[in-house]
Amino acid sequence: MDVIFLGPPGAGKGTQAQILEERDGIRQLSTGDMLRRNRAAGTELGRKAQAYMDRGDLVPDDVIIAMVEDELNKPGDVLFDGFPRTVTQAEALDAMLRRHDRQAAVVLFAIPLEAVEERLTGRWTNPKTGRVYHEKFHPPARPGIDDDGTPLVQREDDKVETVRKRLDVYERQTSPLIDYYGDRLIPIDATKALQTVTAELAAKLKGAVA
């Protein structure tokens, strides 16, 4: 079964997706990471997305939907991290899942928006692998450096002003998905410590598959 992670920026979606990918082998499909990789490689898609991302706006739906559709032709279960983000994207994903005869569990990372600002401004990322740390809540073994020796960096869009814009965009454009999915949502308490969230997620996903 595929899995969709829904929730505000900084709720911990990417962190939990990486844990599930390593533990269960489900393929993390992070639209944010895909866009950042395109940007770093200087592709046409990356150039198109850059201005939107730097401002904290969403990249247009048609660009994102085409990018995801390609990925669904590959084998194996997929964990959608950061997609869908609008009702248009959710409708497109439902249609794609039907076409490919796939089903998805939808997990909502429930956390008040006030709680995520500190998580984002203290986040450090491995630019090669996308692995995520936090200077206070989930520090790397060596400050500023990942286990593979790569220096960690802060994301351009994690500056305070851009974080506030992203939270506003989430409220206006993405939170309507809570009504869209309605009874299908599996809520988890994303305010808890990282390992507690991992345990709740595992238990609830097991229940969804059974």
Does position 53 interact with ligand AP5 (CB under 6 A)? The reply is yes
Q: 3-state SS string over 8-63? A: CCCCCHHHHHHHHHHHHCCEEEEHHHHHHHHHHHCCHHHHHHHHHHHHCCCCCHHH
The number of residues that bind ligand AP5 (CB under 6 A) is: 35
Q: Where do we find the tokens 């796939």?
A: 102
Interface with ligand AP5 (CB under 6 A), residue from 37, 52, 91, 140: 52
Does position 32 interact with ligand AP5 (CB under 6 A)? The reply is yes
Residues 157, 62, 83: CA angle, nearest 5 degrees: 55
Tokens standing for 147?
A: 């286990």
155 is catalytic: yes
Helix (H, G, I), strand (E, B) or coil at 81: strand
Site for ligand AP5 in 115-174 (CB under 6 A): 119-120, 123, 132-134, 137-138, 157, 166
Does position 39 interact with ligand AP5 (CB under 6 A)? The reply is no
Residues that bind ligand AP5 (CB under 6 A): 7, 9-15, 31-32, 35, 52-53, 56-59, 64, 82-83, 85, 89, 119-120, 123, 132-134, 137-138, 157, 166, 193-194, 197
Q: List the catalytic residues.
A: 13, 85, 123, 155, 166
